[in-house]
């Protein structure tokens, strides 16, 4: 019967424990000489400190015998280099994968196991994301010399999720911008300025909420170093000034609750909405949801849309697929075609 881990230890690498305010590693028998001759090695008080100490004590060329071993190294070396939100998601996916496949030998897995795993999971979208992480881990296994070839790359064709096809019409945007604010500053005015600027720049939520006027607004335009994601190239872009862009920026500044904030969009304390530790912007998301509630009640709009649907609208309204790809700074035009070209083709 497999050992059931305590709640505080779930999601941690194999043989890790959290107790008495610190993280410990239970040293495998015979490996004590690598861990100061201790059977229970104290790693640190915080996870980052513990991961660092752990990484320093394991041999980089150590063999991984099981999928759990591979996922542990992937968690230590690959995941920390990703964006904060992606790190959070990956850790959750790895936790689920370790429970299901952690004890499997690396050479055991076959394409049919991938299909069976997805079939048994009720949360299909999460299952697909978990398999993506597992596939990348096996790509790293080949790079690290654990395997000669990837066991299922190119041999599994999972049925993808249906891409979102909500297209925001021009009249719906006009309805949102016509919503009467209760005061000159506040959430409604801020969201309306955000909508205008998003349609004029196609910037993602993270890039828009991180705009700093004093640093990024220059004589020739708005300078943006896009945050690199799975879909974005992370390239630099200069949005040249137009009367419309200047007006949208001024509207955003006027809507700020704190005039001296370094951020174009800021909360009541003048801080950026994005939590850099997690990559999330919960207070902004709540503000957007409240704005959409008013839109549904007080305007003619009958179907909700997300702020990402506005970004997709920019891609859909572009004159060509390649133009849309450049606007959205996507790595591959196939991503643009699938996610952000939502208007029907006219023949």
Q: Spell 92-116 as b/e; 16+ CB within 10 A means b.
A: ebbbbbbeebbeeebeebeeebbee
What backbone torsions phi and psi does residue 251 show, to the nearest 5 degrees? -65, -40
| Nearest residue to 201 via CA among 287, 264, 267, 281 | 264
pLDDT at 334: 66
CA–CA separation, 246 vs 209, rounded Å?
A: 17
Q: How many CA atoms lie within 13 A of 155 on its CB side?
A: 13
pLDDT at 2: 45
Task: List Cβ neighbours of 90 (8 Å cut-off, separation of 6 or more).
Answer: 75, 79, 82, 133
Residue whose pair of structure tokens reads 């280099």 in the numeric block: 81
Tokens of 72: 């542990």
Record the pTM: 0.67
pLDDT at 279: 81
pLDDT at 151: 92
Arithmetic mean of pLDDT over the chain: 84
Regions of the chain where pLDDT drops below 70 = 1-5, 29-34, 58-63, 160-161, 183-185, 228-234, 320-324, 326-342, 344-347
CATH superfamily of 170-340: Intergrase catalytic core (1.10.443.10)
pLDDT at 215: 93
pLDDT at 97: 94
- The domain limits of the chain are 7-143, 170-340
Helix (H, G, I), strand (E, B) or coil at 207: helix
């Amino acid at each position: 019967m497999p050992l059931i881990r305590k709640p505080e230890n779930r999601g941690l690498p194999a043989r890790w424990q959290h107790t008495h305010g610190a993280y410990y590693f239970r040293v495998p028998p015979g490996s004590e000489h690598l861990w100061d001759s201790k059977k229970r090695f104290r790693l640190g008080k915080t996870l980052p400190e513990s991961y660092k100490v752990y990484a320093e004590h394991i041999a980089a060329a150590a063999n991984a015998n099981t999928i759990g071993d591979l996922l542990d190294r992937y968690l230590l070396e690959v995941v920390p280099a990703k964006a904060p939100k992606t790190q959070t998601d990956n850790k959750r996916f790895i936790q689920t994968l370790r429970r299901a496949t952690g004890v499997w030998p690396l050479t055991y897995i076959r394409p049919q196991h991938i299909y069976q795993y997805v079939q048994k999971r009720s949360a299909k979208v999460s299952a697909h994301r978990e398999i993506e992480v597992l596939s990348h881990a096996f790509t790293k296994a080949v790079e690290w010399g654990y395997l000669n070839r990837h066991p299922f790359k190119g041999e599994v064709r999972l049925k993808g999720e249906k891409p979102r096809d909500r297209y925001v019409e021009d009249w719906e945007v006009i309805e949102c911008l016509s919503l009467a604010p209760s005061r000159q500053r506040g959430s409604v005015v801020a969201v309306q300025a955000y909508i205008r600027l998003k349609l004029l720049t196609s910037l993602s939520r993270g890039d828009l909420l991180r705009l700093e006027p004093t640093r990024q607004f220059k004589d020739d335009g708005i300078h943006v170093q896009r945050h690199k994601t799975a879909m974005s190239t992370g390239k630099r872009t200069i949005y040249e000034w137009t009367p419309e862009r200047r007006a949208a920026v001024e509207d955003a500044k006027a809507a700020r609750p704190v005039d001296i904030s370094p951020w174009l969009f800021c909360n009541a304390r003048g801080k950026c909405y994005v939590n850099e530790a997690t990559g999330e912007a919960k207070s902004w998301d709540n503000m957007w949801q409240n704005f959409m509630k008013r839109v549904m009640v007080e305007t003619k709009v009958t179907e909700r849309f997300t702020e990402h649907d506005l970004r997709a609208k920019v891609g859909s309204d572009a004159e060509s697929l390649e133009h849309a790809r450049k606007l959205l700074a996507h790595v591959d035009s196939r991503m643009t075609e699938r996610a952000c070209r939502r208007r029907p083709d006219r023949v």
